[in-house]
Amino acid sequence: MLGPLDGVIGDPALAPWMADELATVQRNAQRLLKLVNTMLDFSRIEAGRDAAQFQLVDLAELTTDLASGFRAATQKAGLRYVVDCPPLETLVRVDRDMWEKIVLNLISNAFKFTLEGEIRVSLGREGDRVRLAVSDTGGGIPVDELPRVFDRFHRVVGTKGRTHEGTGIGLALVQELVKLHDGTVDVASQVGSGTTFAVTIPTGDHQDCDRDGRTP
């Protein structure tokens, strides 16, 4: 669907009104693809088939690279965007693809619910663990909703967002992926002041890895 659609939208002979309609189709197709991929991720995790391929990586560099993909969107939206990921003392044992989904889901969620102010992405070592925090100055989450934010398909009602699109499974996926890293994910929020999601995982730098960086 998306391949031919990209080609048609890029045709300079296409009428403007038609280009707008096809752009809507393209966005919805991309949302559908993301939803299907996320549900497949859940299915593999629940079936025990989504074994993490751990590697020792420069987590600060990887996280900075992933976060940089949101810089243009935040600037266009008039938001301050701070990425504070100084070099860590050691490499950290993670599954690169899973870490990418964790980081992108958290930043995407912050962007969706932050209409003004700042989004901050920070990474730092705390003993034998690493903590990733994504903070925003959005509308915040009511106290009675906090225990359910990681429930699958749950959506917080009454919170102002940049868009009403969403399925309520992004944060649930983050929690499952963090568990595969033997880590935890927590949320702190105050209505009117913003929200912080914090992921903490063991560095795993003491574990044996093969020559490709993967655990045996």
Residue 134's pLDDT is 98
Note the helical H segments in the chain: 2-9, 16-46, 59-68, 71-76, 96-112, 170-180
Tokens encoding 155: 């959506």
For the cut 70, the answer to whether the pLDDT of residue 20 exceeds it is yes
- Entry pTM: 0.79
Residue 50's pLDDT is 64
Give dist(CA 134, CA 189) in Å, integer: 12
Q: Which residue has the higher pLDDT, 147 or 159?
A: 147
Residue 153's pLDDT is 74
For the cut 70, the answer to whether the pLDDT of residue 164 exceeds it is no
Other CB atoms within 10 A of residue 183 CB:
19
Residue 162's pLDDT is 60
Percent helix / strand / coil, the chain, rounded to 5: 40, 20, 40
| Average pLDDT, integer, range 192-215 | 72
Q: Which of 88, 93, 95, 98 is nearest to 127 (CA)?
A: 88
Torsion angle in degrees (nearest 10) through CA of 21, 27, 33, 166: -130
pLDDT in tens, 178-187: 999 999 999 9
Residue 211's pLDDT is 33
pLDDT in tens, 61-104: 999 999 999 999 999 999 999 999 999 989 999 999 999 999 99
The average confidence (pLDDT) of the chain is 85
Give dist(CA 64, CA 8) in Å, integer: 34
β 118-126/92-94 pair status: unpaired
